[in-house]
Amino acid sequence: MVSMIPKQARSTAAATGTSGKSRAERRQHRLMMLSFVVGSLENRRFRENVMIGSLALLGLAVLARQNAARTGARLIAWINDEPSPARPGTEL
């Protein structure tokens, strides 16, 4: 029977050891990760840090947007103030 999984993917899974874990080990690992996430969400300091980080990212996004708008407005003003270059074939 021909396997549908590419040979390279099979060897990668074998090298990382993911194919050798039993169902119970995988379930235990998932439960451990879930308990870590839930524990992090219950931690007040973690939630505060997430909120502060979110506000900081929002502020940086607003600053970047304003900077881009200001740069675009300067570019448009510069283009409009400069005389247009002569096009070939239009000289008198």
Q: Is 66 helix (H, G, I), strand (E, B) or coil?
A: helix
pLDDT digits (tens, 9 = 90+) for 41-71: 888 898 899 899 999 999 999 999 999 988 8
* Percent of the chain's residues with pLDDT above 70: 67
Asked if residue 5 is part of any domain, the answer here is no
Q: How many domains does the chain have?
A: 1
Is 92 within the bounds of a domain?
Answer: no
Residue 65 lies in a domain: yes
User: With pLDDT > 90 as the criterion, what percentage of the chain qualifies?
Assistant: 30
Domain of 47, in residue numbers: 23-81
Question: What's the pLDDT score for residue 60?
Answer: 95
pLDDT of residue 49: 92
Residue-by-residue DSSP string for 11-44: HHHHHHTGGG--HHHHHHHHHHHHHHHHHHHH-H
- Within-domain flag for 11: no
Residue 6: pLDDT above 70? no
